[in-house]
Every structure is written in C-alpha cells, then in structure tokens.
Structure 1
Amino acid sequence: MKTKEIVSAALFITLSFIGANIKIMGSIAFDSMPGFLGALLLGPVYGAFIGMIGHFLTALLSGFPLSFPVHIVIMIDMAATMVIFSLVYRKVAEEEDFSLKAITLAGVLGVIMNGPVSLLMLTPLLLPAIGLAGMITLLPVVSGVAALNIVLACLVYKLLPNRIKKVRKKI
C-alpha cells in the first residue's frame, strides 16, 4: 500500500462521514458516493473498504435502526457492490479515461446490487420485523438513493482532470 492511496482512502471515508449525515430515510443516506468514486479511482479493494465504512458510519449515526446484524449484512453487500462496480468499469472501459458504456453498465449493476440484491440478502432478518409490505416499500428508496449516489460519483469522476484518473491504471 502506498501512502497516497491510504491518504486518498481516508479522505473518501471522511466524505462518507459527511454523506452519512445527509439521510433520506433511517440509515439510507449519501454515504456510498465516495465509495463509488473511490472504487473508480483507487480500485475494488479500496472501494469496498470505503463503502463498508461509509455504511457503518451511517448506521452508527442513525443508532443501528434495523439492528446491528442487519447493518453487518449491508456492509458486506456494500463491499461486494463496490468490487463489482469497479471491476466491471475497469473491464469495459479498458484504457479509456471515461467510458459512458462502462459507467452505465457498472452503474446499473451497482443499483441492482445495492437495491434488490441487498434486500434479498436481508430477507431472513427483515421480513419478520417489517413484513413484505415494508420490504417492497424499501426497494424503490434504496435503489433510487443508490442510483443518485452512483450518478454523483460518476459526475465527479467525469469532471476530474485526466491526470488524476490516470492513477487508477497504475493500481
């Protein structure tokens, strides 16, 4: 690990803390935008770590409203989401600094992972507590906020100078 990547990851975690304070509903917030951006710039491992910590901070600030075990599952899902998002973008974009095709495909997969897949993983824990109606009600909120986080991360990534985006090729 290089100092530059560690410091960058720490800055993204700090941004996640700020995003964790911009809540939409309960522990659904703008904490994952830095994780998605970190996944694009620093790679899947850093992105996964940033995404996990970002959600943990949101859950902590919210008082773990759905229970600690639920938020552990969400943290695992966030890590998997960032890994898939980063790997798909890197594979499809290849050597391009910004690929609309890659960002669209990675973004759609990110929303699917963060929305329906996350809720499916949480079904054994949440279904008894909030019922099927509660699960269905969460789906558009979780998916919509995931999409907003991804769009914001992609806009920031697009606006960054190419010399900053070149770092991702070295990692």
Structure 2
Amino acid sequence: MNLQSNVLAALFIALSFIGANVKVLGSIAFDSLPGFLGTLVLGPAYGAVIGAAGHFLTAVLSGFPLSLPVHLITMCIMAATMAIFGIIYRRLADGIQFSVKGALLSGGAAVLINGPIGLLVLSPLLVPIIGQTGIIYFVPILSGVAALNVLVAFVIYRLLGKAVLEYKG
C-alpha cells in the first residue's frame, strides 16, 4: 500500500458517490462501476473496499430502503464480488494489458455473485420484506445493472491501456 494507491482508491470511492446518484431502482445504481475499475487498476483488496463503500453510499442516499442489516450484508457481498472478480481477472490476464477471456469469466462471476447469489444470501432477510416474487423480480434488474457496470469498467480500463500499465509499473 502506498500513498498513490490510497489516493486513487479515494478517487474511486468519490466516483462511487457520483454513481450512487445514478439510480435504476431504489438502491440499485451505478456505484459499483468505480469498484470494478478500481479492482482492475489497484487489485482485489482495494476493489473490495471501494465496492463496499460504493454500496454503502448508495444505501445512505436511498435511505436504507430494505433495512440497515440488508445493506450491511450487501456491502460484504459487494466486497466479495470485487475480490473474486479481481482474483479471477488477474489469474487469467497473467500480466497482459487486456484479456478477453479474463473479462468474460471475471465479469460473468461478478454478475452471478452480485445478482442471483447475492439475492440468495439475502433471501432470509428479504423474503419477509418483499416476498419470493420480489426477489425473483430483482434478479434480472440486479444482474443487468451489474453487467453494465462491469462492461463500462472494462471499456474504460481498455481505453486507459498504457497508462494503467505504467501505473502498475
């Protein structure tokens, strides 16, 4: 951990605040895009912190619509999503500038964790609030927004190209 990485992480968290204001439905927003990009640039540990902070900012701005416990667990799910996403991508990219295979597999894993798996983990708390139908309703919305966040993060990462390689040194 160095000062430059910490400053970049703070910048990604600030960008998460902006994304938290771009809401799709309730507390579903574009707060995770900076988390995915931060994970690609800074690594899984930083990405986990950025992803958790990004969700917390969205939950705060939304007024914790599904209860504080649901959003605290969601923060942990987002942290795990970013960490797993980063680990898979780094293993498959193996030091190259951009890996299509890595992007597809890590992005797919992120969407699965962020969408259906996350909802499954939260279902004991969510069923009394929104019912099983509500959970099923959220699967495509959460998964679609997660996929868009991942896709845009990869597009930006690819466009940064040489600058990211120089940063990683």
TM-score normalised over the length of structure 2? 0.98
Gaps of 5+ in 1: none
Query: Which residue does the alignment assign to 1:161?
Result: 161
Mapped contact 1:97–1:166 kept (Cα < 8 A) = no
Measured in 2, the distance between the counterparts of 1:9 and 1:61 equals 20
SS of match in other structure, 2:24: strand
Deviation at 1:14, TM superposition (A): 0.6
Mapped contact 2:111–2:143 kept (Cα < 8 A) = yes
Measured in 2, the distance between the counterparts of 1:129 and 1:19 equals 26
Provide the aligned length of Structure 1 versus Structure 2: 169
Mapped contact 2:16–2:33 kept (Cα < 8 A) = yes
Bigger shift: residues 128-137 or 24-33: 128-137
Mapped contact 1:23–1:29 kept (Cα < 8 A) = yes
RMSD: 0.9
Which amino acid counterpart does residue 51 of structure 2 have in structure 1? Answer: G
Which amino acid counterpart does residue 53 of structure 2 have in structure 1? Answer: I
Query: Which residue does the alignment assign to 1:102?
Result: 102
**1:26-105 alignment, distance < 5 Å:** 26-105=26-105
Which amino acid counterpart does residue 108 of structure 1 have in structure 2? Answer: G
Query: Which residue does the alignment assign to 2:140?
Result: 140
Which amino acid counterpart does residue 144 of structure 1 have in structure 2? Answer: G
Which amino acid counterpart does residue 124 of structure 1 have in structure 2? Answer: P
Query: Which residue does the alignment assign to 1:126?
Result: 126
Which amino acid counterpart does residue 107 of structure 1 have in structure 2? Answer: G
Gaps of 5+ in 2: none
Deviation at 1:166, TM superposition (A): 4.3
Which amino acid counterpart does residue 75 of structure 1 have in structure 2? Answer: M
Measured in 1, the distance between the counterparts of 2:113 and 2:37 equals 16
Measured in 1, the distance between the counterparts of 2:4 and 2:23 equals 30
Q: Deviations over 1:8-33 (max 9, x none)?
A: 00100010000000000000000000
Mapped contact 1:36–1:51 kept (Cα < 8 A) = yes
SS of match in other structure, 1:49: helix
Deviation at 1:116, TM superposition (A): 0.6
Are 1:5 and 2:5 an aligned pair?
yes
Deviation at 1:162, TM superposition (A): 1.4
Deviation at 1:163, TM superposition (A): 3.3
What stretches of structure 1 move > 6 A for 4+ residues in a row?
none
Percent of aligned positions that are identical: 56
Mapped contact 1:42–1:167 kept (Cα < 8 A) = no
